Amino acid sequence: MAMNIKEIEALIKEALPDAKIEIQDLAGDGNHYSATVTSGEFSGKSRIEQHKMVYNSLRGKMGNELHALAIKTKE
């Protein structure tokens, strides 16, 4: 099971409505993505917390349907 860019984007947007999201399909296989997420909600949070917010928005899909998603967060 793979996920497409729109599905990933929609889930992150739902959790972080103000987020600017750039997603790249690294291998073109629908399985290895890289996402840069910029959101005001990251302000004052540690990088671990910021990444957890993104992981949580994906509701357990990370590591399952979504094999690899490299994350970079920006305030």
Partner 1 sequence: MDQQTKDLISNEIANNEICLFMKGTPDAPQCGFSMAIANMFKILEVDFKGINVLENQSLREGIKEFSDWPTIPQVYVKKEFIGGCDIVKEMYENGELKKLLEKKEIKFKK
Residues near partner 1 (CB under 8 A) are 47-48, 51-52, 55, 60, 62-63, 68, 70-72
Q: 61 by DSSP, 3-state: which?
A: coil
Choose between 13 and 67: whose C-beta lies nearer to partner 1. Answer: 67
- Shortest reach from residue 58's CB to partner 1, in Å: 8
Measure the CA–CA gap between 58 and 41, rounded to whole angstroms.
Answer: 16
Choose between 19 and 71: whose C-beta lies nearer to partner 1. Answer: 71
Query: What are the C-alpha distances in Å from 3 to residues 18, 25, 34, 64?
Result: 22, 10, 13, 10
- Shortest reach from residue 52's CB to partner 1, in Å: 7
